[in-house]
Amino acid sequence: MSVTFIDIEDENDVGQRIDNFLMRRLKGVPKQKIYSILRKGEVRVNSARVKQTYRLQHGDHVRIPPVTTRTDVPARLNEQTEAVLEASILFEDDDFIAINKPHGFAVHGGSSIASGVVELLRVMRAQPRIELAHRLDRDTSGCLLLCKKRGVLKEVQAAFRERRIKKKYTLIAAGLWPTKVRTVQHRLLRYVTDWGERRVRIDAAGQVARTDFQIQQQTQEATLLQATLHTGRTHQIRVHAQAQGHAILGDTKYGKQDIATDAQRLCLHASRLVVPLGSDRLDLSAPVEATMQQIWQQIQSRHEGAPTPVEPNL
C-alpha cells in the first residue's frame, strides 16, 4: 500500500468536512482510526495539517496515508437480502431513497459488521455516492432516508441540525403508562462503559432533550405509545421511557431483564419522517413491522377485552 493523493474537483466533495470525506473514501476503516490519522497529521491538505472540521475547497490537494480497509471486498449482497431491501422501499426518485428499515439491519458497516444498509443499497443501485441522511439503531425499525446527491444531503442535514425535521416513533413500553406523563425533558449525556459499549444516561451536564408521549392503547401489562422527538439525541426515547419506570420492551441496554415479555426485538419503530425541502416537503410513513405487531397482539390476547384505541395526533 502507498500514499494516495486526491485533487478536490468534484462538486459533491466541495464543502464536505475532511473527516466525512475520509470515511466515505476509506470505507471499512474504524472512525477511531480516521480521527487518529487526522490528529497525527498523517492526512494533509495542501501539505498542511488540518482539523477534522476542515471543509474541503475546490482545488485542494489531499494526502491520504496508507491504511488497511475492507473495501477491497465488495459488500456481500445475496438474493434474499436484496429482496428484503427492495420490498422495504417506501419512496425513490433521482435524489432520495427511503426505506422501512427492517429490525436487525445496521445502517452502515462497522468493526463487527461488514455491510450495512447504505453499503448494500450502493451495490443494488450501482451508485457509490448514496449516503445516509440520518441514522437508526440496528434494533430499531422504520423510516430511514438516504440521499443520492451531495447537494441534497447537505440540505437535509441542515434541516436536521436546525430541528426542522418532524420525527414520530411507535413503541411498546412495559406497564401502564401514566396518562399525565405527556412530555419528558431530561438532559442526556453519552458515555462509554468499562467494557467499551456506548451508552446514554440522564445527567445535568448532558444535552437538552425533549420527548412527547401519547398513549394509543393500553393493557395492565404494557402500553402502545407514539413518541414525538423535539431533539434527536442518541437513545433518547429509550432513556426517557426508562426514566419513567416504563422501559421499552426488548430493550437489553436500558430495560429491566426481569420483565416478562414476548419481545424478541426492541419494540421501537420510526413510523413517520417529515423533511422540509424548500417550499415542499418529503412526508414518509412506515407501517409498523409485522414482528412488532405480533408482540402487541400477543399482549392483547392475554387481557380480557380489546383496549380502546386513541387516535394519534399526527
Q: Which three cell numbers stand for residue 207?
A: 444535552
Least confident of 99-108, 186-195, 277-286: 186-195
CA–CA separation, 216 and 223 (whole Å): 8
Residue owning grid cell 417550499: 279
Domain boundary among 123, 155, 187: 155
Question: What pLDDT is attached to residue 73?
Answer: 45
Provide CB contacts within 8 A for 166, sequence distance 6+: 228, 272, 273, 274
Domain boundary among 12, 29, 64: 64
Per-residue pLDDT tens digits for 159-203: 999 999 999 999 999 999 999 999 999 999 998 877 667 889 999
Q: Is the domain of 237 the same as that of 173?
A: yes
* Residue 95 appears among annotated catalytic residues: no
Max Cα distance, the chain (Å): 72
Q: Is the domain of 145 the same as that of 207?
A: no
Question: What pLDDT is attached to residue 75?
Answer: 60
Question: What pLDDT is attached to residue 229?
Answer: 95
Helices of type H across the chain: 18-25, 31-39, 79-88, 117-125, 150-161, 236-243, 290-301
Q: Is the domain of 215 the same as that of 284?
A: yes
Question: What pLDDT is attached to residue 174?
Answer: 94
Q: Is the domain of 169 the same as that of 149?
A: no
Q: Is the domain of 171 the same as that of 284?
A: yes
Provide CB contacts within 8 A for 277, sequence distance 6+: 155, 156
Per-residue pLDDT tens digits for 42-85: 999 999 999 999 999 999 999 999 886 544 445 677 899 999 99
Amino acid making up residue 229: L
Contact 160, 133 (CB under 8 A): yes
Phi, psi of 55 (to 5 degrees): -105, 130
Range of the structural domain that residue 102 is part of: 79-155
Assign 143 a pLDDT band (cuts: 50, 70, 90). very high
Q: Identify which of 62, 59, 58 has the alpha carbon closest to the alpha carbon of residue 38.
A: 62
Asked if residue 74 belongs to a domain, the reply is no
Burial of 309 (0-12, 13-18, 19+ CB in 10 A): exposed
Domain boundary among 115, 131, 155: 155
Provide CB contacts within 8 A for 114, sequence distance 6+: 28, 70, 73, 75, 76
> Which CATH number goes with the domain that contains 235?
3.30.2350.10
Q: What is the pTM of this model?
A: 0.74
Q: Are strands 268-277 and 280-285 parallel, antiparallel or unpaired?
A: antiparallel
Q: Tell me the average pLDDT of the chain.
A: 88
Q: Is the domain of 22 the same as that of 146?
A: no
> Which CATH number goes with the domain that contains 43?
3.10.290.10
3-class DSSP state of 237: helix
Assign 310 a pLDDT band (cuts: 50, 70, 90). very low
The count of domains in the chain is 3
Identified catalytic residue from 13, 94, 95, 137? 137
Q: What is the mean pLDDT of residues 300-308?
A: 70
Asked if residue 143 belongs to a domain, the reply is yes
Asked if residue 308 belongs to a domain, the reply is no
Asked if residue 69 belongs to a domain, the reply is no
